[in-house]
């Protein structure tokens, strides 16, 4: 059933209401004229019972084509007269559907849906399917093609912006309320022109597609032709990213490609369709004045992982980096080993990655249940962008998103990145020096700065800088190893493993560039805080015993559930391997 919810929406830029009404009326007039001309052309054809000379040979190609045309016209007539029929219960679009009948066509009295019809290629070229992963030409009749739950619009002239939403809403009305709030706050210029999703028996509205239509005659030309303006195509992608960013709070999925034009078909009786906006239809330039067109897909994917998991951006981004490194290693391994998991569709590859990353997280004792949302984003992103040629040289973009978030100036971002990199290098150098110092002490050799720098493979200046810290840390380890727990009365100058007489302050740990007191449990023990990715071997496997003490920060356990009181309309979110469509 089509629901027309004509809610109020703000006007975008200089888009006047009367101009839009005139444009839609003109479009409907041209639509009706084209339909009349097509009907007249069909009427001029020979009647079904006429005998054509080609029918002399019933096995000829012309005879077969004529018979196919007769059967197609009968199927179209039956569809118009009897409506859509699902004769028995069957599995369609991700779940079992009960048998039902729907009369008429959804686009008959709806100008928005009529405009959507014009964006679908003509019969014989339009691709559709019951499964979004395997679209193909199903019929030479456009009318019959538009009964399938998934359809592909014209990819050469982009006239619609589709935003995938992973949210499960308590009802379609709750989704409209959430979208209305974003419109009133100025996050988006208007409500979507078409909303199509799956309405379950319990009333929940699952994984809708939000479709923003461009005004008639303003589709974006995307072609390999040299005359095609790439800047307009980039603007289209920027607007799509900006709308996705504005809708992240309700579960928008930034991992879905913007120009494939595959989407849930609002004209299919399988779905529940709404057309809430007939008043405002901004142009691409007017959309660009409202939303942030500079957002990158990679940054949006990471922000979506943080929002949907309920973690902080820092915690989620660290987990994203760790899981991404593991996923890249798996893809390299599967690709060069000709693994059967690489031979399926993109969705199947994402499922395989999801399963493998969940097993990796359990092995590394990363058992936070919300990590599944981060895993889903990592798996979907890498499966979608998989390219065997660029696999090993692919950059990990937005790795420092949690460090540079909110910085507008390029110099500020560069400075923050340099400081972060300097801290990482400092941690690595300190770890090498501690290991070298411990080896020298265990061998009862004389410790010198030159020897320490040579054994650790660092410069003498770095060895001088960290020499005192290495003495303190290694002295604490020696106490713990040879004398057990150090009591307050212990004279540290008399310990056999001490190489320098000095007062030992509380040891410190470098955490995110700052020095913080390390926990003391009887003896002085250094608790290192390093990025888990830095503890990898060449094959991508984490070293045993080194990852277990470096789990996600404890603040990730404070949020009990992703659904908060600030989002009463949201019933939940679905990850990639939860049977989502």
Cα separation, 569 vs 53, whole angstroms: 65
With b for 16 or more beta-carbon neighbours within 10 A and e for fewer, the 446-469 pattern comes to: ebeeeebbebbebeeebbeebbeb
What's 504-547 look like in SS3?
A: CCCCEEEECCEEEECCCECECCCCCCCCHHHHECCCCCECCCCC
Q: Convert 288-311 into a string of H (helix), E (strand) and C (coil).
A: HCCCCCCCCHHHHHHHHHHHHHCC
pLDDT in tens, 183-196: 999 999 999 999 99
Q: What is the block-wise mean pLDDT of the chain (581 residues), using blocks of 10 residues? A: 46 48 72 79 63 60 82 92 92 90 91 93 89 86 93 94 92 94 93 95 93 92 91 93 92 86 94 92 92 86 84 83 86 84 83 88 73 85 74 56 64 67 75 82 79 81 79 63 39 38 36 39 32 34 34 36 51 55 51
Distance of alpha carbon 153 from alpha carbon 151, whole angstroms: 7
- pTM, rounded to two decimals: 0.64
What is the C-alpha separation between 263 and 116, in angstroms, rounded?
12
Q: Is the dihedral of CA 141, 147, 148, 152 positive or negative?
A: positive
Write down the pLDDT at residue 15: 45
Q: Cα(468)–Cα(562) distance, rounded to whole angstroms?
A: 46
Express each pLDDT in 5-60 by its tens digit: 444 443 444 444 456 666 677 777 777 788 888 777 777 765 555 555 545 566 77
| Alpha-carbon gap, residue 117 to 275, rounded angstroms | 14
Distance CA 11, CA 20 (A): 11
CA neighbor of 303 nearest in space, from 295, 313, 311, 291: 313
Burial degree of 292 (CB within 10 A; 0-12, 13-18, 19+): middle
Handedness of CA 274, 237, 581, 107 (dihedral sign): positive
For residue 530, the model assigns a pLDDT of 33
Q: Give the per-residue pLDDT at 21.
A: 60
Residues 526 and 473 sit within 8 Å (Cβ to Cβ): yes
Bridge-partner residues for 264, per DSSP? 150
Phi-psi region of 512 (alpha: psi -120 to 50; beta: other; left: phi over 0): left
For residues 335 and 343, give the distance between their C-alpha atoms in angstroms, rounded to a whole number. Answer: 9
User: From residue 251, how far is each of 7, 244, 293, 313 by CA, in Å?
Assistant: 22, 9, 19, 16
Backbone angles phi, psi at 511, to 5 degrees: -125, 110
Whole-angstrom Cα distance, residue 447 to residue 198? 70
Nearest to 437 by CA among 474, 476, 383: 474
Task: Name the helix (H) or strand (E) containing 90.
Answer: strand 90-92
- Looking at the DSSP bridge assignments, the partners of residue 273 are 2, 196
**Which residue pairs, CB below 8 angstroms and at least 24 apart, start in 330-337?**
330/356, 330/357, 330/540, 331/382, 331/386, 331/391, 332/391, 332/392, 332/540, 333/539, 333/540, 335/388, 335/391
Indicate the domain borders of the chain: 2-44+83-288, 297-406+549-570, 410-530
- Count of all residues that appear for the chain in the document: 581
The CA-based dihedral angle spanning residues 350, 355, 360, 365, taken in that order and rounded to the nearest 10 degrees: 130
């Amino acid at each position: 059933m089509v629901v027309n919810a004509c809610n109020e929406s703000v006007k975008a830029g200089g888009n006047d209401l009367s101009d839009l009404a005139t444009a839609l009326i003109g479009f409907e007039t041209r639509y009706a004229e084209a339909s009349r001309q097509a009907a007249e052309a069909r009427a001029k054809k020979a009647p079904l019972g006429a005998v054509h000379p080609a029918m002399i040979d019933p096995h000829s190609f012309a005879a077969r084509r004529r018979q196919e045309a007769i059967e197609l016209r009968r199927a179209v007539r039956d569809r118009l007269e009897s409506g859509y029929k699902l004769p028995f219960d069957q599995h369609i679009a991700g779940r079992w559907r009960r048998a039902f009948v729907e009369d008429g066509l959804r686009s008959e009295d709806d100008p928005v849906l009529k405009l959507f019809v014009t964006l679908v290629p003509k019969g014989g070229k339009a691709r559709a399917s019951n499964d979004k992963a395997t679209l193909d030409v199903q019929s030479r009749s456009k009318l019959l093609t538009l009964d399938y739950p998934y359809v592909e619009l014209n990819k050469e002239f982009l006239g619609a912006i589709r935003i995938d939403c992973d949210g499960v809403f308590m009802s379609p009305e709750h989704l409209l309320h959430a979208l209305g709030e974003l419109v009133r706050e100025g996050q988006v210029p208007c409500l979507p022109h078409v909303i199509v999703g799956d309405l379950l028996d319990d009333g929940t509205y699952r994984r809708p597609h939000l479709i923003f239509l461009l005004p008639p005659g303003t589709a974006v030309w995307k072609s390999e032709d040299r005359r095609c303006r790439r800047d307009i195509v980039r603007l289209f992608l920027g607007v799509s990213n900006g709308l996705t960013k504005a809708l992240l709070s309700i579960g928008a999925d930034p991992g879905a490609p913007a120009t494939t034009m595959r989407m849930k078909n609002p004209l299919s009786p399988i779905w529940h369709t709404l057309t809430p906006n007939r008043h405002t239809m901004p142009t691409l330039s007017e959309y660009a004045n409202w939303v942030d067109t500079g957002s990158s897909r990679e940054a949006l994917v990471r922000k979506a992982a943080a929002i949907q998991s309920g973690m902080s951006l820092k915690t989620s981004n660290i987990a994203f980096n760790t899981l991404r490194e593991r996923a890249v290693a798996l893809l390299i391994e599967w690709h060069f080993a000709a693994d059967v998991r690489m031979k399926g569709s993109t969705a199947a590859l994402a499922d395989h990655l999801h399963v493998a990353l969940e097993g990796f997280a359990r092995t590394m004792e990363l058992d936070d249940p919300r990590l599944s949302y981060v895993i889903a984003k990592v798996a979907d992103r890498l499966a979608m962008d998989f390219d065997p040629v660029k696999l090993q040289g692919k950059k990990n973009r937005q790795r420092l998103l949690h460090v540079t978030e909110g910085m507008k100036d390029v110099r500020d971002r560069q400075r923050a990145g340099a400081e972060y990199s300097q801290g990482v290098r400092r941690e690595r150098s300190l770890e090498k020096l501690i290991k070298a110092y411990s080896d020298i002490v265990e061998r009862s050799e004389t410790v010198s700065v030159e020897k320490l720098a040579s054994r650790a493979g660092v410069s003498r200046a770095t060895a001088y800088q960290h020499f005192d810290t290495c003495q303190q840390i290694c002295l604490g380890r020696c106490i713990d190893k040879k004398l057990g727990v150090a009591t307050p009365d212990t004279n540290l100058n008399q310990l056999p493993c001490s190489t320098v007489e000095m007062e030992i302050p509380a040891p410190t740990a470098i955490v995110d560039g700052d020095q913080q007191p390390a926990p003391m449990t009887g003896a002085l023990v250094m608790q290192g805080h390093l990025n888990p990715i830095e503890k990898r071997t060449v094959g991508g496997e984490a070293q045993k015993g080194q990852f277990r003490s470096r789990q996600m920060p404890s603040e990730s356990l404070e949020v009990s559930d992703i659904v908060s009181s600030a989002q009463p309309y949201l019933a939940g979110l679905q990850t990639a391997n939860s049977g989502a469509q």
